[in-house]
Structure 1
Amino acid sequence: MSREKAKSDVINRLKTIKGHIAGIEKMIEEDKSCDDILLQIAAIKASIHKVGLVIMEEHAKDCLINVDEGEMIEKEKVEKVLNTLVKFIK
């Protein structure tokens, strides 16, 4: 996925998430069932996770793949990507 495509994808997903959040607010105001509200929350959690994965993938590509051919990747860059990945997973 190109950087611009990834950026567009993330922005679209975030707009969808905003819509889901607004929907949850309305559901609560209208005293909808807990089951329905929790289902929407689960959808938001999955969407947020996907956004994080796309951003993490682009971050890793920027740090680890976009180096000149034959150039060694700095240990610090690898450690930074791994630390970010671990924080995201937790």
Structure 2
Amino acid sequence: MTENHLPEDSGKQPVKPRTQDEKMAVLNRLKRIEGQVRGIQKMVEDDRYCVDILVQISAINNALNKVGYNLLERHTHHCVKDAIQKGNGDEAIDELMKVVRQFSK
């Protein structure tokens, strides 16, 4: 991870690039989540009840998990499947399992 806590670019490209519709769906979900985060910031600024804030944090966690699982599913159906068909399955599965472990922490 770099200083800004974003993972470094692996340099890999998806086997099947995302369609414009797929990109827009993910980006729209992320923008909604971004709006929810801003809403929580306002709730803290307004000194809202802790439980109300925690409920919103839980909703954000669930929304992020849903985006992540959708991306994991797409990666498995395209990139991992392709690697297995080309005889590189072990490496792709190891990479997938590493990210699943990281994702499920």
Q: Do they fold alike, i.e. is TM over 0.5?
A: yes
Give the fraction of aligned pairs with identical amino acids, expressed as a percent.
36
TM-score, scaled to structure 2: 0.70
Q: Tell me how far 1:58 sits from its aligned partner.
A: 1.9
Output the aligned Cα RMSD: 2.2
Aligned length: 88
Assess, with a 3 A threshold, how the Cα gap between structure 1 residues 6 and 57 changes in structure 2: closer, same or farther. Answer: farther
Unmatched segments (≥5 aa) in structure 1: none
Instruction: Report what 1:15 is aligned to.
Output: 31
State yes or no: 1:50 paired with 2:59: no
* Higher share of residues assigned helix: 1
CA distance, structure 2, for counterparts of residue 37 and residue 27 of structure 1: 7
Residue equivalent to 2:82:
66
Q: What are the superposed Cα offsets for residues 64-89 of structure 1, whole Å, 9 maximum, x if unpaired?
A: 22369x64343211211122112211
Partners in 2 of 1:28 and 1:47 — Cα distance? Answer: 20
Which of the pair has the greater relative contact order for Cα pairs under 8 Å at 6+ separation? Answer: 1
Which structure 2 residue ranges, 5 or more long, are not aligned? 1-16
